[in-house]
Amino acid sequence: MPIAMQYGSGDYTANNISVSGGAAPTGPQMAYVSGNTLADGTTTDTFTPVAGCAYVLYSVEYAHSSKTFRGAHIRYITAPQADKFGSEACNVGGIYGSSASGITITANNNSTVSISQTSSTYDVKYVIYEVQFA
């Protein structure tokens, strides 16, 4: 027997999604910031975060020749506070990573993050979301 529960009341709208009759979500929310497909073996994307913000990067990697799925990764990125931004590297760490690693993420000393394929053997699709704390 299914059970339906409702907490709070009223309507909530965010990111063009409306929820009626429920409470607004609480806690951290995430907003899309950037993403790309890297498939030529030579492109390096540079992501410049906002000082003091936190991000989550999701990636999937495929074999270039066969397009067979090879792996996936979830990483966090935290940017230095404003007084250190531009002269200190971001903090980049792993949340999840498969054994195949087709993506390279480098925290640069100027507070940017470089994203590239580990080799032309892999194609990489990635997205970056900013974590917005309530």
* Domain regions of the chain by residue span: 25-132
Q: Which residue has the higher pLDDT, 5 or 97?
A: 97
pLDDT of residue 5 exceeding 60:
no
Is beta strand 44-47 parallel, antiparallel or unpaired with respect to 113-117? antiparallel
pLDDT of residue 9 exceeding 50:
no
What share of the chain in percent tops pLDDT 70?
Answer: 79
Residues in Cβ contact with 1 at an 8 Å cutoff, skipping those fewer than 6 apart: none
Per-residue pLDDT, averaged over 7-28, amounts to 54
Give phi and psi for 23, each to the nearest 5.
-80, 155
| Confidence class for position 20, pLDDT limits 50, 70, 90 | low
Per-residue pLDDT, averaged over 26-31, amounts to 80
- pLDDT for the residue 88: 97
pTM assigned to the model: 0.78
Spatial distance between the Cα atoms of 102 and 100, rounded to a whole number of angstroms: 6
Average pLDDT of the chain? 85
What Rg value do the Cα atoms of the chain yield, rounded?
18
- pLDDT for the residue 126: 97
pLDDT of residue 118 exceeding 60:
yes
- Looking at domain 25-132, its CATH class is mainly beta
- pLDDT for the residue 108: 98
